[in-house]
Chains A and B, each alone.
Chain A
Amino acid sequence: MKLITAIIKPFKLDDVREALSEISVTGITATEVKGFGRQKGHTELYRGAEYVIDFLPKIKLEIAINDDLVESVIDAITKAANTGKIGDGKIFVSDLSEAIRIRTGESGAEAL
């Protein structure tokens, strides 16, 4: 099992959700987050004074999947969240040692 953590632009959330539904991903957790990468935020202007927004709003997606889905999930997110502009985000893949469905107590792949 793998845990896919993706940071995307907020307005791309619906596109990504649709793309993932099409490849039968059954669950996504989305969190509103703030952060910066090489883009390093941007400057805004208020009443003549410039100020730097270091942390830009992003969406963090967390998706637990079976190993065989990893390539297609990465592919789906990469295509759906891509604008070609700086700040499109990143995808992180990590190993997932266990998953449990609270209602039934099922564990492992059964719980996904």
Chain B
Amino acid sequence: MDNQVIELSYALDTFYFLVMGALVMWMAAGFAMLEAGMVRSKSTAEILTKNISLYSVACIMYMLMGYNIMYSGTDSSIWPFGFDLLGSADNSAEDVIASGGDIYYSGLSDFFFQAVFVAATMSIVSGAVAERMKLWSFLIFAVVMTGFIYPVQGFWKWGGGFLDQAGFLDFAGSGVVHMCGATAALAGVILLGARKGRYVDGKVVAMPGCNMPLATLGTFALWLGWFGFNGGSELIISNVAEANAVGLIFVNTNTAAAGGVVAALITAKLMFGKADLTMALNGALGGLVSITAEPLMPSPILATVIGAIGGVIVVFSIVTMDKIRIDDPVGAISVHGVCGLWGLIAVVFSNPDAGIGTQLYGAVVIFAWTFIVSLIVWGILKMTIGIRVSEEDEMEGVDYSECGIEAYPEFVSK
């Protein structure tokens, strides 16, 4: 190949990678708006503080530790430490040309793309523990989660570890990202307990979110970001076959979300008699999580079905979580955890290389690792500085007790 063509391809793939990463970064805004809309107004400023702080903690911790753990290039398939600190020189033009096109994107564009994924994982946790968790305990957990817990299981799959070697398939992270985040959230919610007054005398008490327009905007922002999440995970776009692949991934990602919305809306209408907007929003995200493990192989029709099943699952899962007293204000555990598991299983319907046993094996490993380590970290925090705000602070709203400000100071609330 002509040298200039190689350089141009490298530039194009790097450009594509960076733009996809920037889209994934914007998912942080999606999570922030979705969560701000789904909590009560007295907890809004605090959940926004959590969201922008966790994003920042994730980016710094992944730079300091996470990336080195996840892509250490070590010979071991289980213990990932083989430090190759970030900051070493990026690829030189000579190396790229000499590789004949095998090196096709900038190393730092890869770091950026991976870093925004970690932030997405951590964002999943914040919604589930909303309105009652101490801000600083949450941020300490974020340090461990983004610097250690996520990167280790990420290494097992995407870093070439034992899950990858076993043939476990997870294209863009139904398991590695979404189920991992939801599992950490589940461990936290179990130790944290439900919001005060959520379950009274055996009945579920509704705590309606304060702002449906924000929740809807957040969902659309996540939907947009997901094109980067799945589309970027192809990693290359600079030839006809790869460009077509990215095109198919965009179509499948989009249609799976649409299938999720329609299915969740109909399910909610049949179950409750009303078209519950929040279920439609969760349906979109459930569809997106479901297609994330394999957005390339299914036909658009199959992708729609996979997303639609995710949309049905999410409604039943949210109702079930309330039955077993798992209080998750935004439905994060159902959307990312239960649909994440479904997404991993659904790979077998379109990818002949996937085996149901291997997919379940991967799911169990990710769940067990994340759950046990998260439970230990949350447990240590609970025994030392505590993870839950006082009852009085919860009643008054964590906006005031944790942040000292209110999200909507010109309105009477609480």
Contacts and interface: CB of A to CB of B under 8 A. Distances in A.
Q: Tell me the interface secondary structure of chain A in the complex.
A: strand
Contacts of A51: 205-206, 208
A48 B271 contact: yes
A46 B322 contact: no
Contacts of B268: 48
A50 B319 CA distance: 12
Interface residues of B, number: 19
Interface in B310-352: 315, 318-319, 322, 331
B95 interface: no
Interface string A33-76: 00000000000111111110000000000000000000000000
User: Size range of the interface on A?
Assistant: under 10
A45 B207 CA distance: 10
Most buried by A among B206, B268, B273, B278: B206
B276 A47 contact: yes
Contact of B273 (A45, A46, A49): A45
Nearest to B273: A45
Nearest to B204: A49
A45 B322 contact: no
Contact of B318 (A44, A45, A48, A50): A48
Interface in B249-283: 268, 271-274, 276, 278-279
B322 A48 contact: yes
Contacts of A49: 204-206, 322
Contacts of B204: 48-49
Q: Which 6 A-B pairs have the closest CB atoms?
A: A49-B206, A51-B206, A46-B206, A49-B204, A46-B208, A48-B319
